[in-house]
Amino acid sequence: EAGVTQFPSHSVIEKGQTVTLRCDPISGHDNLYWYRRVMGKEIKFLLHFVKESKQDESGMPNNRFLAERTGGTYSTLKVQPAELEDSGVYFCASSQVGGANTGELFFGEGSRLTVL
Amino acid sequence: AQSVTQLGSHVSVSEGALVLLRCNYSSSVPPYLFWYVQYPNQGLQLLLKYTSAATLVKGINGFEAEFKKSETSFHLTKPSAHMSDAAEYFCAVTLGTGRRALTFGSGTRLQVQP
């Protein structure tokens, strides 16, 4: 079974440019999460999808960040325009819903974003 | 609200020595608790989890953790460190069953000296 995959693994862009990160969750996982870790600090929650619906987007920093999950499969996270403080590692995670869920999240390897 | 505090951003032990990584949690209801590990250039991997069953939880690679409600702690231990244990370790808490996202601690980087 394939795990959570993220693309790209590393992106270097200039301030003001746009970047789109993609996450493919484990097949059958309706929960999809985005997290971010900036400069060795704690891993912070960004948002949570259940299928295609945003369940909780309280962690999104500002309106330069847009997350989508059309069709309830893969998700994209777009940063437009990127700022220096957006640099960090963006993690995607997925899990099942309902009785099979014990809270455990399955993580991808992360997308490292560097904004110059 | 829920939160976790990891004491010590860096811990260094000798190979063969006891590993103890500390985690204290705060939760308004009985929590589910997790330890994740991140090896260099890899994603987060689950080490072990507590979901209200046995308070002593055994995980992969010889790690274990004990849930102590009276101390609101979930410290991670391993009797004998191995060089391959060098990584960053994260404690996390949730209210369970996928209703809420995991809240992570700030991480503890473990160094193992030969």
Residues contacting residue B102 through CB under 8 Å, at least 6 positions apart? A33, A45, A93, A103, A105, B34, B92, B93, B94
pLDDT tens, position by position, B4-49: 999 999 999 999 999 999 999 987 777 889 999 999 888 899 999 9
User: What are the Cα distances from residue A48, in Å, to A14, A92, A112, B66, B98?
Assistant: 28, 10, 20, 29, 10
Residues contacting residue A94 through CB under 8 Å, at least 6 positions apart? A4, A25, A26, A29, A31, A32, A33, A105, A106
Instruction: Give the residue from B57, B1, B9 showing the smallest Cα distance to B26.
Output: B1
Contact B34 A45 (CB under 8 A): no
Looking at the complex, does the CB of residue B59 fall below 8 Å from at least one CB of chain A? no
Question: How far apart (Å, rounded) are the C-alpha atoms in residues B5 and B111?
Answer: 20
Residues contacting residue A30 through CB under 8 Å, at least 6 positions apart? A50, A51, A72, A96, A97
State which residue of chain B sits closest to A95, comparing Cα positions. B98
pLDDT tops 90 at residue B83: yes
Contact A102 B32 (CB under 8 A): yes
Identify the band that residue A39 occupies on the pLDDT scale cut at 50, 70 and 90: confident
pLDDT tens, position by position, A68-107: 998 889 999 999 999 999 999 999 999 887 644 566 788 9
CA-CA-CA-CA dihedral for B15, B87, A96, B65, to nearest 10 = 40
Contact B98 A103 (CB under 8 A): yes
Helices (H) and strands (E) in chain A, counts: 0, 11
Q: What is the pLDDT of residue B78?
A: 97
Looking at the complex, does the CB of residue B106 fall below 8 Å from at least one CB of chain A? yes
CA-CA-CA-CA dihedral for A23, A21, A55, A85, to nearest 10 = 140
Identify the band that residue B94 occupies on the pLDDT scale cut at 50, 70 and 90: confident
Identify the band that residue B59 occupies on the pLDDT scale cut at 50, 70 and 90: very high
Q: Best of A53, A102, A109, A112 to disrupt the B interface by mutation (most B CBs within 10 Å)?
A: A102
Q: What is the pLDDT of residue B29?
A: 76
Question: How far apart (Å, rounded) are the C-alpha atoms in residues A114 and A98?
Answer: 37
The token pair that represents A111 in the structure block: 């997308």
State which residue of chain B sits closest to A110, comparing Cα positions. B43
Contact B104 A108 (CB under 8 A): no
Q: DSSP character for A30?
A: -
